[in-house]
Amino acid sequence: MNLPAEPDHALAASLFAQLSAHSHDGVGITRDSYGEGENAAHALLAAAAVSCGLEVRRDSVCNLYMTLPGRDRDAPAVMTGSHLDSVPRGGNFDGAAGVLAGLAIVAGWRRAGVVPACDVTVMAIRAEESAWFPVSYVGSKGAFGLLDATALGARRADTGRTLADHLRQAGGEPESVAAGVPALHAADIDCFVELHIEQGPVLDESGDVLGVVTGICGSQRYRHATIRGQYAHSGATPRSHRRDAVVAAASLITALQRGWLALEAAGHELTVTVGQCMTDAAQADFSKVAGRVSFSIDIRSRNRATLDAMDAAVQAARAEVAQACGVEIDLGPVTASAPASMDAALQDMLTEAAAHAGVATRSMPSGAGHDAALFAAQGVPAAMLFVRNANGSHNPDESMRLDDFAQATRVLAAVLGKRAGVPAAACATPFIVSTKPCQSV
């Protein structure tokens, strides 16, 4: 499998630098979903795409589509892309790498005069990070007309304003979203391939440059759980009379760890995380027995049965601890996302392209959720390509090497080119189209 015209790596490097400059918050990168940071990133990428001669459009949920037109405009499109939003004080590469890789590829093809057989579209997807709104896959669900109307009432964690308010301010159309009007149809999409940094240490520690993703974990989440006990004097209240919310929280977390270990011993693959656990800062005190603890539970697995089994363990632990500690445990509403398997043929194509380029790869699951899972759930052949990245993700220290990114982009270009019927003549000899990026914006 030969590579088409060289991706415009200089354009990608320039845009990475501009994204960082526009969204650095003094500690890390903050591109808030449907806020100033994400909006600015989308405007930057749209302007860059226009300057490269690509078609640009947006849908009612404000997803951005940057398209290199093909010879047959009615044929199913080849799609790639990812998200541009970040968690608060995150890193510059999570999500953005996938959008910039796609843009570098189609910009390189456009400059070389390559006309694919079908449209090739790079999608910058909105609001993938659920740190801002308690809703999974806002942008990709909205694109397929699948975003539940009640989700528009979800409030952003920092502003308290609704998703509908933020969407409308960003130029979207909440009414169309609520009506389930789709911008994408599975039958019109040949495939969706998402490049993303690896968010853990596996590739960096193994020395492999790329990971070909086999499946994406689903989740079962209790974001706003509460334990209610009784505040009491720390010195005057004996143990037999205490309803200590902190002790109950510790007991519950220990029980969840036991449940996790038991399922692993039985052959299940999952993770269980209590990412938040706090007393009430306004009422708790070092000289009080705690009467309230707020916490969260995040369960992830590639197997729905495993998620259900761990959820059953959560419910059993809640009942046991509540009785033993004399407290009330309210897990609050549950949110969930479905696991997804990646397309076997696309996995083989990515592996073959990497081998042809002499790049070390490994097959691996994704513990984190990604928009590719939503595409797969709609019946679109979907795949993911991980790029090694030091220091994990969702922190300011993300450290993807740009030469690794360039190799990953070439591999992605080979697969997209093959799926899009890029003319054989354009694939005969790899070459650098230009060392100068498209006009800076």
Report the alpha-carbon distance of residue 251 to residue 246 in Å, rounded: 9
* % of the chain at pLDDT higher than 90: 92
pLDDT tens digits, one per residue of 341-380:
999 999 999 999 999 999 999 999 998 889 999 999 999 9
Q: Do 192 and 118 sit in the same domain of this protein?
A: yes
Q: Record the pTM.
A: 0.85
Q: Total domain count for the chain? A: 2
Q: Is 305 exposed, middle or buried (0-12, 13-18, 19+ CB in 10 A)?
A: exposed
Same domain for 399 and 286? no
* Co-location of 278 and 351 in the same domain: no
Do 191 and 109 lie in one domain? The reply is yes
Mean pLDDT of 129-148: 95
Domain presence at residue 432: no
Q: Is the pLDDT of residue 428 over 50?
A: no
Is residue 237 one of the residues assigned to a domain? yes
Tokens, residue 66 = 């940057």
Round to whole Å and give the CA distance between 109 and 234: 70
Query: According to the model, what pLDDT value does residue 5 have?
Result: 82
Question: pLDDT grade, residue 25 (50/70/90)?
Answer: very high
Residue 323 shares a structural domain with residue 278: yes
pLDDT one-digit tens code per residue, 106-128: 999 999 999 999 999 999 999 99
pLDDT category, 430, cuts 50, 70, 90? very low
As a whole number, mean pLDDT of residues 277-298 equals 97
| Residue 423 pLDDT greater than 50, yes or no | yes
Position with higher pLDDT, 245 vs 336: 245
Q: Is the pLDDT of residue 437 over 70?
A: no
* Amino acid, res. 121: T
- Using one digit for the tens of pLDDT, what is the confidence trace for 47-66? 999 999 999 999 999 999 99
Same domain, 158 and 171: yes
Question: How much of the chain, in percent, has pLDDT values that exceed 70?
Answer: 95
Q: Are 438 and 107 in contact (CB under 8 A)?
A: yes
> Do residues 64 and 205 both lie within one domain?
yes
202/331 same-domain check: no
Closest CA relative to residue 373, chosen from 305, 310, 273, 304: 304
What CATH number has the domain bearing residue 103? Answer: 3.40.630.10
Residues 92 and 226 reside in one and the same domain: no
Residues 6+ apart with CB under 8 A from 220: 299, 300, 307, 310, 311, 334, 336
Instruction: Decide if pLDDT at 392 tops 60.
Output: yes
Q: Which of 299, 322, 337 is the last residue of a domain?
A: 337
Residue carrying the six token digits 């495993």: 306
110 with 242, same domain: the answer is no
pLDDT of residue 426: 56
Rounded to the nearest integer, the mean pLDDT of the chain is 93
> Max CA-CA distance within the chain?
85
Is 192 in the same domain as 77? Answer: yes
The per-residue pLDDT for 367 is 86
The pLDDT tens digits of the residues spanning 189-243 come to 999 999 999 998 999 999 999 999 999 999 999 999 999 999 999 999 999 999 9
Q: Is residue 438 part of a domain?
A: no
User: Over 90: is that where the pLDDT of 441 sits?
Assistant: no
> Rounded CA gap, 255 and 159, in Å?
35
Residue at which a domain ends, from 306, 337, 368: 337
Q: What string of H, E and C letters represents the secondary structure of 307-322?
A: HHHHHHHHHHHHHHHH
First vs last Cα of the chain: how many Å apart? 35
Q: What is the mean pLDDT of residues 397-412?
A: 96
